[in-house]
Structure 1
C-alpha cells in the first residue's frame, strides 16, 4: 500500500525490514523452543544452543535482503491496495524462505527446526505488513494536515487525463494534489490554459513558492510532436515529467510495460502474463473439475448408456476447437447427433429448428448436459472452467475479418462457460455482442469475476432458449 518514490524512504524501509527479519528469526526461536514448551503445546524438544541460530542470522539477513530487492519489493508503486501489499510481501518472504531452505540444506553441522522456519515465515511478513500499514496511517494523517503533498499538473483533459485525476482522488494518502489541466480543445474551471503554456505555468507556480512537482502528459500517440516539444521545454525545469499515453483509441488487451535493454516496450495486445492469480485460477480449475467429474460420475454413466442406445456410434464426440494463442485441441462432448450428420453438408452453424440431433441429443443440448465431458479438457489444460467459448477453426476463418477484435478472445484459455453465455449470448445470437462480452471478461478478469460467472451458470446457464 505504501512504497514512496523517494530514495530516502526506500532505504529507510529496507533497513526497517532488515531489523524485522532479525526480530522474526529470533522470536521464532524463543516461541519454538521456550514458549510452546512452557505452554505444553508440544513435548519438550532438544533445545539447540541459541548461539548457533544467532550465528546463522547474518546469512539469513543477507539472503533476505537480496531476495527482497530482486523481487521488486522496494520498487516505486504508490497506488498499492492492501491486498497487493500483502501479496508483494508474502511473495518476497516466500521466495526468501525457498532460497534460505535450499542454502541451509548444505549446512550439515546444524539441524534447523522446520517449525522454527514456519514460525519465521509467519512472523516476518506479519511484522512487515504491520509496519507498512502503520507508515501508511501516519503518512495519511500528515497529508491531511497538508504535509508531504505533491502538486500535479495534467496535460490533456481527455479520457486518460480524467481517469488519472480520478485515481489520485481515489488514493488521497498518496499526497498528489491536481492543480488543474492544460488542453487545447476543452474548457472548464479546471482548465488552466493550453498545452503550449506548460513551461510558463510551471515557472509561475515556482515563483509563487508553490512548485509543481509532477507534470503528467496524458496525450494521444498522434501528438508525438507536441509531446517532444513539451518534454524539451520542461527538461529545463525541476518538475518530474511522466508520460501516460492515451491508448484508449486502440482495442488493448492484457497491456503492460516491459523493457528491452532499457528501452520501454508497451504491450498493447498480449497473452495474460503468468502470475500468482493465474496459478490460483488453474488450481480452481483442477479442483472444481475433478470434484464435478466425481460427483457427476453416476449421471454421466446414465447419459453414456442413453447415448449408446439412442443411435449407433461412440458415446463421445470429439470436435476440433481453437483455444489459447490459436492452438487447436479436441473438445469432448456427449454425442448428440448421428455419426454422419455432417457428411453431406460439412460444418454447419447450429440454428433454431434444426433436426439433426437425436431425441436424447436434443435433451442433452437443451440442458447443456452434453458439455459435461469438457471438464476432462479442463483437467488436461486445454480449457478453463470460465472463459470465452472455443469455436471451430472453419468458422473462425469466416469471423476473424468480419468481426473486429474477434481473435483477441484467443489470448486466454477457452472456457466451458463464460460472461457472454450467462448473459444469453449463445447459439444463433449476435456474434458482435458475444465478442463484446468476451473482451469485457478478458479485460476485467479476476477470480471473483470467475466465481460470479460460475454461480450465474448454476442459476441460469444450463437451460437456455438459444441452446439447440
Structure 2
C-alpha cells in the first residue's frame, strides 16, 4: 500500500512538473514579448506550436534526472540543487534541438527566462510540498516508525538526526544491541550537539524477528523501517536482520558503522546492478569541481600576468646570486600518487643536495643562498607554481605536495598519510595557513590536510586564500 501510494504521488508530481514547464514557457513569452519591448514581436502561437516538443524533451530529462526517487530524508537544499541540475540538462538539450529548427529564430532571452522561471516554479512546488509534509509530520501524521539495530556510534547518530529533523517523519521506537545494558550514550558531536539520553535498547539483535512479529505494520502502530547500523564485521547479524525483514513488510536499510575508518569522498555506485561502496576515493566530478578548476585557471593566469614584473626581478636576483638555472624543478607526488615536476625559484646552489640527498629544510638552514633565504622566508620561491596550477598538476588550494623519496618513509610512520593524495596538491592549504609547514609536526599537518579534504567546499577554499594573503606568506616556520 505504501509503495502504491508513493508511486501515485510520484506520478502526480511528474504531471505537475510538466504543467509547470508549460506554464513557464508561456510566462517567459509574456515577459519577453509583452512586458519587455522586443525588437520584433512574435505571436504566442509560434511558441505554443513548439511546446509539445519542449514537453517531450523535458519529460525525458525529468525522468532520468532522479527527481522522483523517494527521498523522505533529503534536505530541501539538495532538492533545489537536483532541480537546477535537471533544468540545466533540459536547457542544453532544448538549445541543441532549437539549433536545428529553422522555421524561425527563437528568442535567446525567452529561453533564458524560461529556464529561470521553470527553476523557480519547480523548486517552489517542492517547497510547498515540503512545508505541508513538515507540518503534518510534526503533528504526528505520515510518520514512519523505525527500529535501529545497533546502538553504536552510527546508530545513535542516526537517531539524533531523526530527532534533530522531525520534518523527516521518522519516530525511533528503540534499538536492538547485543550489549543491551552495557550501551552508553555517545557524546554530542558538532552536527547534533544536543544532549541525548542513553539509548533505549529493547533486546539483543536476535530479537528482531519476534519484535517484528509483535509490531506488524498491518495491524497499525507497527515497525515500518529497520535500520541495520552494524559494522561490516557483523555480516552474520546483518544477514539475520535481512532474513527477519524478508518475512515482514518492514523496509530494511543498511547504515554501515564505519566511524573507525578515515572516510574520504565516500559514495555509492553500482557495477552492473551490484552496489559498490566507495570508502576512500577522489572527489567525483561535479559542478563544484568544474568551478574550482575554472577558478584555478583564472587565478593562476591573473597571477602570472600581474606578477610578471615581480617574477622578472626575482629571476634576475636568483641568476646573480649563484651560478645555475633560475628555476628549480623537483619531482613531487600529486593526485592519486601521480608524480609531476614542481617549479620553484632556485634558492640553493645547484649541488646543495649532492651529499645529503633529499632532506627536509630545517630552521637555521645554511644551504640556501642569501637571495634564496629571503625567498623562502617570504614564500616568493613558490610563485612559479602558478604554472603548475595552469597545467593542471596542482590547485591553488590543497595539501602541499611532497617528494616521493620522503613519502616512502612518511607513509609507514604516519597513519593515513597517503589519503592526502585523494585531492590535487595546492600552493597553499589549510595546514599552511595554520602554521603547520616547514620543520613542524607531520602528524598535525596530516590532520589538517585530512580535515580539508573531508570538509572541502568552495567557501573553504576562498577562506584559505584570504588567510594566505594575511598570514600565509611570511611565517616563522617558513625556511
Q: Deviations for 1:334-389, whole angstroms, at most 9, x for unmatched residues? A: 11111221123222221222210011111111111111111121111110111111
- Kept after mapping to 1: 8 A contact 2:151/2:199: no
Matched with 2:458 is 447
- Kept after mapping to 2: 8 A contact 1:5/1:77: no
SS for the counterpart of 2:209 is: helix
SS for the counterpart of 2:412 is: coil
Size of the aligned set, in residue pairs, is 459
Matched with 2:35 is 35
Q: How does 1:52-71 map to 2 (within 5 A)?
A: 52-71=46-65
Q: How does 1:42-441 map to 2 (within 5 A)?
A: 44-187=38-181, 188=198, 190-206=200-216, 209-441=220-452
Q: Decide whether aligned partners of structure 1 residues 5 and 467 sit closer, same or farther in structure 2, where only a CA change above 3 A counts.
A: farther
In structure 1, how many angstroms separate the alpha carbons of the residues matched to 2:336 and 2:65?
28
In structure 2, how many angstroms separate the alpha carbons of the residues matched to 1:381 and 1:158?
42
For the aligned residue pairs, the C-alpha RMSD in angstroms reads 1.8
Larger displacement relative to structure 2 (282-291 or 201-210): 201-210
Larger displacement relative to structure 2 (65-74 or 19-28): 65-74
Contiguous gaps of at least 5 residues in structure 2: 182-197
In structure 2, how many angstroms separate the alpha carbons of the residues matched to 1:218 and 1:105?
52
- Kept after mapping to 2: 8 A contact 1:5/1:78: no
Q: Deviations for 1:52-82, whole angstroms, at most 9, x for unmatched residues? A: 2112111101100101121222223333334
In structure 1, how many angstroms separate the alpha carbons of the residues matched to 2:5 and 2:427?
44
In structure 2, how many angstroms separate the alpha carbons of the residues matched to 1:126 and 1:236?
44
The two structures have a TM-score, normalised by structure 2, of 0.92
Larger displacement relative to structure 2 (344-353 or 198-207): 198-207
In structure 1, how many angstroms separate the alpha carbons of the residues matched to 2:8 and 2:407?
55
Q: Deviations for 1:79-135, whole angstroms, at most 9, x for unmatched residues? A: 333432222111101110111111122221222111111111111111111111111
Q: Note the C-alpha offset of 1:186.
A: 4.3
Contiguous gaps of at least 5 residues in structure 1: 38-43
Q: Deviations for 1:147-169, whole angstroms, at most 9, x for unmatched residues? A: 11111111111111112112222
In structure 2, how many angstroms separate the alpha carbons of the residues matched to 1:294 and 1:162?
54
Q: Deviations for 1:232-274, whole angstroms, at most 9, x for unmatched residues? A: 1121111111111112233322111111111111112212111
- Kept after mapping to 1: 8 A contact 2:57/2:93: yes
Q: Note the C-alpha offset of 1:415.
A: 0.6
In structure 2, how many angstroms separate the alpha carbons of the residues matched to 1:341 and 1:76?
63
- Kept after mapping to 1: 8 A contact 2:378/2:475: yes
Larger displacement relative to structure 2 (245-254 or 437-446): 245-254
In structure 2, how many angstroms separate the alpha carbons of the residues matched to 1:406 and 1:256?
21
In structure 1, how many angstroms separate the alpha carbons of the residues matched to 2:26 and 2:366?
74
- Kept after mapping to 2: 8 A contact 1:5/1:76: no
Q: Deviations for 1:196-238, whole angstroms, at most 9, x for unmatched residues? A: 1122222323387311111000001111011111111121111
In structure 2, how many angstroms separate the alpha carbons of the residues matched to 1:132 and 1:65?
17
SS for the counterpart of 1:32 is: helix
In structure 2, how many angstroms separate the alpha carbons of the residues matched to 1:337 and 1:374?
17
The two structures have a TM-score, normalised by structure 1, of 0.94
Matched with 2:189 is none
Matched with 1:40 is none
Q: Note the C-alpha offset of 1:282.
A: 1.1
Q: Note the C-alpha offset of 1:24.
A: 0.6
